[in-house]
């Protein structure tokens, strides 16, 4: 499996979509003052109770119980910890879930960013009913894409209309 930040984002956001989220925010921040690379994903989906939130972080949970539990969360946690970074998952039933990861950007095992542009595009146009707030920050720029705002500007035109997709694609190429 290719380890890229963008595929982790895809995995974690897929969980938020499965959890029925209507609003999902994704923050990617390279802190140039310090050694940290932050990934912060927040949703307003069904959430988890504290016991579940703990269990889903454990890669050996599924083998112990025989229940099928996925690997998206343990993989991201493992990658963060391998770089000497941190992982935190907070969740509240009925309210939503937040996953915040700090990678140590100076570590040789920090995965490459991968194709962030296509990840954002696919999520935004593939889930027209969901509002995404994507933020990318580093020392040279801050990029924000708020799909609720885009949809508002579009009037009734769907965000997955072919012309909107190609506009968004160019917009991401130029600004991200
Ligand atoms: N944002 C979320 N909101 C609510 N529940 C979540 C959320 N993210 C994860 N979960 C719960 O944690 C479980 C484990 O997530 P994880 O991504 O590790 O594996 P998975 O999604 O089950 O399988 P996969 O390996 O395909 O990702 C999910 O099945 C779900 O029950
Ligand atoms: Mg998953």
Domains (ranges, CATH) in the chain? Answer: 5-175 (3.30.565.10)
Best residue for ligand 1 mutational test, from 18, 49, 54, 77 (most atoms within 8 Å of Cβ): 18
Does any ligand 1 atom lie closer than 6 A to the CB of residue 148?
A: no
Ligand 1, atom 12, residue with closest C-alpha: 56
- Residues 101-158 have pLDDT tens digits of 999 999 999 999 999 999 999 999 999 999 999 999 998 899 999 999 999 999 999 9
User: How is residue 68 annotated by DSSP?
Assistant: -
Rounded to whole angstroms, how far apart are CA atoms 102 and 38? 5
Residue pair 150/127 in contact (Cβ under 8 Å)? The answer is: no
CA angle centred on 136, ends 44 and 165, rounded to 5°: 80
What is the average pLDDT across 77-94? 96
Q: pLDDT averaged over the chain?
A: 92
- In this structure, the residue with its CA closest to atom 1 of ligand 1 is 16
Taking the CA of residue 69 as reference, the ligand 1 atom at the shortest distance is 22
């Amino acid at each position: 499996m290719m380890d890229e930040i963008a595929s982790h984002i895809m995995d974690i956001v897929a969980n938020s979509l499965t959890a029925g989220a209507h609003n999902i925010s994704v923050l990617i921040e390279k802190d140039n003052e310090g050694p940290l690379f932050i990934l912060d994903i927040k949703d307003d989906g069904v959430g988890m109770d504290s016991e579940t939130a703990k269990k889903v972080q454990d890669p050996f949970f599924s083998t112990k119980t025989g229940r099928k539990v996925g690997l998206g969360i343990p993989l991201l946690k493992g990658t963060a910890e391998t770089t000497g970074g941190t992982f935190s998952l907070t969740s509240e039933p009925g309210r939503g879930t937040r996953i915040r990861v700090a990678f140590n950007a100076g570590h040789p095992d920090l995965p490459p960013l991968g194709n962030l542009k296509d990840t954002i595009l696919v999520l935004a146009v593939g889930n027209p009913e969901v509002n995404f707030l994507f933020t990318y920050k580093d020392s040279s720029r801050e990029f924000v894409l708020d799909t609720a705002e885009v949809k508002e500007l579009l009037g009734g035109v769907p965000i997955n209309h072919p012309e909107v997709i190609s506009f968004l694609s160019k917009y991401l190429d130029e600004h991200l």
